[in-house]
Amino acid sequence: MLEQFIFLFEQYPIVYLGALFAFGALIGSFLNVVIYRLPVMMQREWRSECLEFLEQPPAAEEEPFNLSIPRSRCGNCGNQISALQNVPIISYLLLGGKCAACKTKISAQYPLVELFTALVSVVVGWHFGVSLQALAALLLSWCLIAASGIDIGHKLLPDNITLPLLWLGILLSVFDVFVNLQDSVLGVMVGYMSLWTVFMLFKLITGKEGMGYGDFKLLAMLGAWLGWQSLFVVILTSSLVGAIVGIIMIIMKKTGRETQIPFGPYLAAAGWMTLLWGDQVMGFYGNLLQF
């Protein structure tokens, strides 16, 4: 069966890309759940651990809450969302962006994440074709989207996402999927230590913390996938994009100079671009520096 699908996708790229778009939209719907629920799950776990450390009685038993329980429901009226009301992108459009029961407006985040994930999946499939690289890059892309969404909303990069991906990147390097094992392990060390060093220097000079430890782990994870040689491109690209966006937001008075801006999404975007077009990006910087 698997061989038949591979043959079909190789012979008919439009079927392959169409399947990736549909499946990517479904994954995007799940990522919305992860973006919303994982921080809540972590907060509950932290609260329980704090009470245990302080030798305090546990909090009153709460309703089970994880990535599958309870079923999705309207945040305003509590109406459970049926399967037909949860079809990625299409249901949002048919419902006019409102709850079927109480007509409360539904956040545009949900269809946007679904559409964005679908498009990213198509780009990855187009770039890598039908291959193990495509499968691995899809998984990385989806996890980066989830991590970025959580960082934007909570300024938090969960270890539940970054650390398993770090080990997966090293495992893939054993088979030279993207880079070799030596470059991958060095990428982990260089990625973590480079941002940690910047963090410590900034703290010593200003007395403030310029970034979180999650950023160190995210760059270390990207180093495992891309190798240490690509980290300069990732750091430079993410810093440039972050600076430009920050300046624009200040000019538009959306934020102030003291406002904390999550750096994770810029690292994630730069890492994803480097995975697909690292040589071209490096060539662009090389030509730029010649002028």
pLDDT averaged over the chain? 88
CB-CB contact of 48 with 59 (8 Å):
yes
Q: Cα–Cα distance between 203 and 215 in angstroms, integer? A: 15
Please tell me the least confidently modeled range out of 19-23, 78-82, 191-195, 268-272: 78-82
Whether residue 258 is predicted with pLDDT greater than 70 in this model: the reply is no
Which pLDDT score is estimated for 253?
A: 64
Q: Which residues of 25-57 are buried (b: 16+ CB within 10 A; e: fewer)?
A: bebbbbbbebbbbbbeebeeeeeeeeeeeeeee
Which pLDDT score is estimated for 75?
A: 76
Q: What angle do CA 181, 187, 188 make, to 5 degrees?
A: 95
Q: Cα–Cα distance between 285 and 272 in angstroms, integer? A: 17
CB-CB contact of 67 with 34 (8 Å):
yes
Which pLDDT score is estimated for 257?
A: 60
The more confident residue out of 45 and 78 is 45
The more confident residue out of 14 and 259 is 14
- For the chain, how are helix, strand and coil distributed in percent, rounded to 5? 70, 0, 25
Q: Cα–Cα distance between 242 and 98 in angstroms, integer? A: 33
The more confident residue out of 226 and 4 is 226
Which pLDDT score is estimated for 255?
A: 62
Reported as a single tens digit per residue, the pLDDT across 201-257 is: 888 888 777 677 899 999 999 999 999 999 999 999 998 888 887 777 777 766 656
Which pLDDT score is estimated for 18?
A: 96
Q: Cα–Cα distance between 270 and 287 in angstroms, integer? A: 19
What number is the average pLDDT over the span 185-197? 94
From residue 264, how far is each of 92, 113, 257 by CA, in Å?
Answer: 28, 17, 19
The residue ranges of every structural domain in the chain are: 1-129, 131-291
pLDDT more than 90, % of the chain: 53
- Which contiguous run of DSSP H or E holds residue 276? helix 264-290
Q: Cα–Cα distance between 166 and 1 in angstroms, integer? A: 31
What number is the average pLDDT over the span 265-290? 88
Which residue in this structure is represented by tokens 């198509």? 122
pTM for this entry = 0.92
- Which contiguous run of DSSP H or E holds residue 247? helix 231-251
Which residue in this structure is represented by tokens 């990428």? 187
Q: Cα–Cα distance between 64 and 2 in angstroms, integer? A: 37
Q: Cα–Cα distance between 288 and 264 in angstroms, integer? A: 26
The more confident residue out of 56 and 60 is 56
Reported as a single tens digit per residue, the pLDDT across 26-55 is: 999 999 999 999 998 888 888 888 888 887
Tokens matching residue 196: 């940690």
* pLDDT level of residue 259 (50, 70, 90 thresholds): low
Q: Cα–Cα distance between 267 and 223 in angstroms, integer? A: 11
